[in-house]
Chain A
Amino acid sequence: EVQLVESGGGLVQPGGSLRLSCAASGLTFSSYWMSWLRQAPGKGLEWVANIKRDGSEEYYVDSVKGRFTISRDNAKNSLYLQMNSLRAEDTAVYYCATKYFEYWGQGTLVTVSS
């Protein structure tokens, strides 16, 4: 059974940083492009970032470019999202998923507030 488990969410002040992690099991992690998505409270889904199987390519939505960094460690079957210069509008549940979103984690809530 494929499992993706996010962690690292929480309350952070505007301008602060947070690092999300996603632990994968039940799949050959290194064979999958991976993604981060988010959903603000009561709002729709937003794709955030993708990373290639070997980490050599990254893509981001414009609103997070220069502030967020997606990365992975295939030896640890783990995906990461480093979030810097956080803003109130980054408040959302963050999901990790395989590239075409056939598998999802349960999500982790990030709240940016003073």
Chain B
Amino acid sequence: DIQMTQSPSSLSASVGDRVTITCRASQDIRNDLGWYQQKPGKAPKRLIYAASSLQSGVPSRFSGSGSGTEFTLTISSLQPEDFATYYCLQHNDYPWTFGQGTKVEIK
């Protein structure tokens, strides 16, 4: 199975901060990676697909980069509505696997 190692597991940040979350795959997954945001009690929402493509309707402050084994989600200027948990997902090979999640909290 492909392991997705996501870091950090949590972070505290202020509104306006630049935030970076990283996912590392245990083997080459090309660009078969998505990023998802989940707020408490809600279904997740896709932010990024194919590692760097912005989902329609998602603010441009979100961006994704990387290919192969190293991937990054960046929030350029954190907004109050961005406090949530973020997950990466690889869909290169079965079983599809998520990272452990990164909880973004208010400093």
Contacts and interface: CB of A to CB of B under 8 A. Distances in A.
A107 B36 CA distance: 16
Contact of A61 (B34, B49, B95, B100): B95
B72 to A, nearest CB: 19
Range, interface on chain B: 20 to 34
Contacts of B45: 104
Interface of B: 34, 36, 38, 43-46, 49, 55, 87, 89, 91, 94-101
20 contacts: A44-B99, A44-B100, A44-B101, A45-B44, A45-B89, A47-B89, A47-B95, A47-B97, A47-B98, A50-B94, A59-B94, A59-B95, A61-B95, A62-B95, A100-B46, A100-B49, A101-B89, A102-B46, A104-B44, A107-B43
Interface of A: 44-47, 50, 59-62, 95, 100-102, 104-107
